[in-house]
Chains A and B, each alone.
Chain A
Amino acid sequence: MITFDHVSKRYDDGTLAVDDLSLECATGEITVLVGSSGCGKTTSLRMINRLVEPTSGTVSIDGTDVRSSDPARLRRMIGYVIQQGGLFPHRTVIENIATVPRLLGTPRPQARQRAQELMDLVGLPSSMAKRYPYQLSGGQQQRVGVARALAADPPLLLMDEPFSAVDPVVRKELQQELLNLQSQLGKTIVFVTHDIDEAVRLGDRIAVMQVGGKLVQFDTPERVLARPANAFVESFLGLDRGIKWLSFFPAKELPLRLPATIGPASGPVDVHRVAAAAASEWVLAVDGDRRPLGWLEAAALNGASSGTVDLGSLRSIGHAFSPATDSLRAALDALVLSPAGLAVGVDSGGALVGVANQDDINNAIQTAAADS
């Protein structure tokens, strides 16, 4: 556990970077420090491994003041990942990863073997071992950065905006991999970001900091989203705060109903019959395996009466959601995109499970909100 006890940092020019910060980062959890630039989040992070010394207060790890340890020794026990990896340009991937074991005196062959294991762990092919950082993509560089930080198997990992320089698709991938790694390794991670979505996605707890180095809220992301401590947190969370919050509620509680469906090779007559029977304007076309193909609007088929339905007249379902694994956020999004006003739920094989309308989703949201 990392404890900040009334920690302040005032720089020589008088700026107060961190103002009386008290915070506990629980062992085995990801604590995210989030806030706009200049809020003191990076300064706070760097006080843990003594890259920055506090002006007052103490930072301790498992009860021991960090200032009682030699800085170099302390740092070798704490993994550190920085934006763009901070990789050594003159060293190959494998040499970069082996850095801390070598500093700790591990003989070269063992250090390299360990580095090789870490390349596997973070998903880098061993063919990249002898490449130099400039020969890697941004995402690969970040993977090397993470592998290097983990090489000496430190119990603590500090990550300073590690994914902010990569494109959104790769960032999402790296975030997911970090969560996977964390579920295997259970490190105590302190993660700094200015991206609230990243904070919500990764954090077991998030600490929202405000310019002037003040901690304004420290709680689980779910509770921060539901009950922001003040107007600053609320505006920082953005106008889709409610939608983000829904990602914490599973869609499996959502009651689903069976829509009117038609199978392959159905004609307009079938559509009208099924629509009338279900008293519904919209009919869902499915294939032989009951995978949704698209919506048909019965009224739009009035002209034609014979032959089979033209697949070109189908309206896209937008996207389906998976009631078993997705959140209410995904269900709501599916609803918004559906021309029929019905979110389509499918199983892992893509076959129709059922649909939910706006009232169903509203009720589920109300219930979830009341329970939280």
Chain B
Amino acid sequence: MLRQTPPTFHFHKVGDWQWVTDHRGYFWTLSRTHLYIALVAVLIGFLVALPLGVLAVRVPRTNPPILAVTTILYALPSLAVFAFLVGITGLTNNTVILPLAAYALAILVRSVTNGLNNVAEEVRISATAMGYGPLRRLVSVELPAAVPVIIAGLRVTTVASISLVTVGSLIGIGGLGQLFIAGENTDFITEILAGVVIVAFWAFLLDGLLLLSGRLLAPWARVSS
């Protein structure tokens, strides 16, 4: 397909700083939707991953099916899933949130199982020998000891999720991806660059916040998450 865009139609030059400052409010609106979608997806993924990961460790025969199913979820191409979900959830944020939650789940289940399996055998045995019941041991000893590994998983999924929300813009769901689409359609590089920079900014910021919260939650961890 040939696209003819005569140079005279260029209203903007590359790196139009004026345009950027004029659209701060718009960026903020897009950012809010973007972060809402990305973070709700991670939250849902985490809330499902936690019990599933615990189950996979506690009941060893549930481990292979849980890991297999979550791996398949991770292998689904996002655009195909969006297109499929539009038929069910319509053109809502949920259409993007659900597949992203599934991706987060796939990674976080592994973080939870790795985190729990990383707890030294001596720690588990001494907790039991001191009189912890199974549930109390999980809540007071094993999960806290697994925090650094779980936080590491949350960092990966949060950054991935923030980046993946942009794909949702291809089906018209809000978020900073809209800047890519609009910029592409009007051949306006500034708008695309603004989108990239803002997405990267949020990804860095949230990664940093998670890193910090990991340091606060697990000051004892020798290797930072």
Interface mask (B176-203 → A, CB under 8 Å = 1, otherwise 0): 0000000000000000000000000000
Contact check, A88 vs B129: say whether CB atoms are below 8 A apart. no
Interface size classification for chain A:
20 to 34
Measured in the bound complex, the distance between the Cα atoms of B206 and A148 in whole Å is 39
Q: In the assembled complex, which residues on chain B have CB atoms less than 8 Å from the CB atom of A99? A: 130
Is B74 positioned at the interface, with any CB of A under 8 Å from its CB? no
Cross-chain contact of A132 among B126, B127, B147, B220 (Cβ < 8 A) = B220
Contact check, A88 vs B128: say whether CB atoms are below 8 A apart. no
Contact check, A90 vs B220: say whether CB atoms are below 8 A apart. yes
Measured in the bound complex, the distance between the Cα atoms of B195 and A333 in whole Å is 82
Measured in the bound complex, the distance between the Cα atoms of B132 and A74 in whole Å is 11
Contact check, A76 vs B145: say whether CB atoms are below 8 A apart. no
Q: How far is the CB of B156 from chain A (nearest CB, A)?
A: 22
Within 8 A of A (CB), among B205-222: 218-220, 222
Within 8 A of B (CB), among A86-116: 86-91, 99-100, 103
Contact check, B147 vs A86: say whether CB atoms are below 8 A apart. no
Measured in the bound complex, the distance between the Cα atoms of B128 and A49 in whole Å is 10
Is A72 positioned at the interface, with any CB of B under 8 Å from its CB? yes
Within 8 A of A (CB), among B95-153: 120, 122-123, 125-133, 141, 144-145, 147
Q: In the assembled complex, which residues on chain A have CB atoms less than 8 Å from the CB atom of B145? A: 88-90
Cross-chain contact of A72 among B122, B132, B144, B219 (Cβ < 8 A) = B132
Q: How far is the CB of B149 from chain A (nearest CB, A)?
A: 12
Contact check, B131 vs A89: say whether CB atoms are below 8 A apart. no
Q: In the assembled complex, which residues on chain A have CB atoms less than 8 Å from the CB atom of B126? A: 80, 82, 85-87, 145
Contact check, B123 vs A72: say whether CB atoms are below 8 A apart. no
Measured in the bound complex, the distance between the Cα atoms of B122 and A126 in whole Å is 25
Q: In the assembled complex, which residues on chain B have CB atoms less than 8 Å from the CB atom of A82? A: 122, 125-126, 129
Residue with the greatest number of chain B CB neighbours at <10 A, chosen from A73, A78, A99, A145: A99
Task: For A135, give the chain B residue with the smallest CB separation.
Answer: B220
Interface of B is mostly: helix
Measured in the bound complex, the distance between the Cα atoms of B142 and A89 in whole Å is 10
Task: For A131, give the chain B residue with the smallest CB separation.
Answer: B220
Q: In the assembled complex, which residues on chain B have CB atoms less than 8 Å from the CB atom of A90? A: 141, 144-145, 147, 218, 220
Q: How far is the CB of A128 from chain B (nearest CB, A)?
A: 14
Contact check, A85 vs B122: say whether CB atoms are below 8 A apart. yes
Contact check, B122 vs A83: say whether CB atoms are below 8 A apart. yes
Q: In the assembled complex, which residues on chain B have CB atoms less than 8 Å from the CB atom of A72? A: 131-133
Q: How far is the CB of A156 from chain B (nearest CB, A)?
A: 12
Measured in the bound complex, the distance between the Cα atoms of B123 and A76 in whole Å is 16
Residue with the greatest number of chain B CB neighbours at <10 A, chosen from A83, A90, A99, A134: A90
Task: For B144, give the chain A residue with the smallest CB separation.
Answer: A90
Q: In the assembled complex, which residues on chain B have CB atoms less than 8 Å from the CB atom of A74? A: 131
Q: In the assembled complex, which residues on chain A have CB atoms less than 8 Å from the CB atom of B131? A: 72-76, 100, 103
Q: In the assembled complex, which residues on chain B have CB atoms less than 8 Å from the CB atom of A132? A: 219-220
Residue with the greatest number of chain B CB neighbours at <10 A, chosen from A80, A84, A89, A132: A89
Is A170 positioned at the interface, with any CB of B under 8 Å from its CB? no
Q: In the assembled complex, which residues on chain A have CB atoms less than 8 Å from the CB atom of B147? A: 90
Cross-chain contact of B129 among A80, A84, A87 (Cβ < 8 A) = A80
Q: In the assembled complex, which residues on chain B have CB atoms less than 8 Å from the CB atom of A89? A: 120, 123, 145, 220
Is A51 positioned at the interface, with any CB of B under 8 Å from its CB? yes
Q: In the assembled complex, which residues on chain B have CB atoms less than 8 Å from the CB atom of A87? A: 123, 126
Measured in the bound complex, the distance between the Cα atoms of B151 and A354 in whole Å is 69
Measured in the bound complex, the distance between the Cα atoms of B145 and A133 in whole Å is 12
Task: For A149, give the chain B residue with the smallest CB separation.
Answer: B130
Measured in the bound complex, the distance between the Cα atoms of B95 and A32 in whole Å is 65
Q: How far is the CB of B61 from chain A (nearest CB, A)?
A: 15
Q: In the assembled complex, which residues on chain A have CB atoms less than 8 Å from the CB atom of B129? A: 49, 51, 75, 78, 80, 82, 158
Task: For A165, give the chain B residue with the smallest CB separation.
Answer: B122
Measured in the bound complex, the distance between the Cα atoms of B125 and A145 in whole Å is 13
Q: In the assembled complex, which residues on chain A have CB atoms less than 8 Å from the CB atom of B218? A: 90
5 sampled A-B residue pairs with Cβ under 8 A: A51-B128, A72-B131, A75-B128, A90-B220, A134-B222
Apart from A72-B132, A75-B131, A145-B126, 13 more pairs, CB < 8 Å: A51-B129, A80-B126, A82-B126, A83-B122, A84-B122, A86-B123, A87-B123, A89-B120, A89-B145, A89-B220, A90-B141, A100-B130, A132-B219
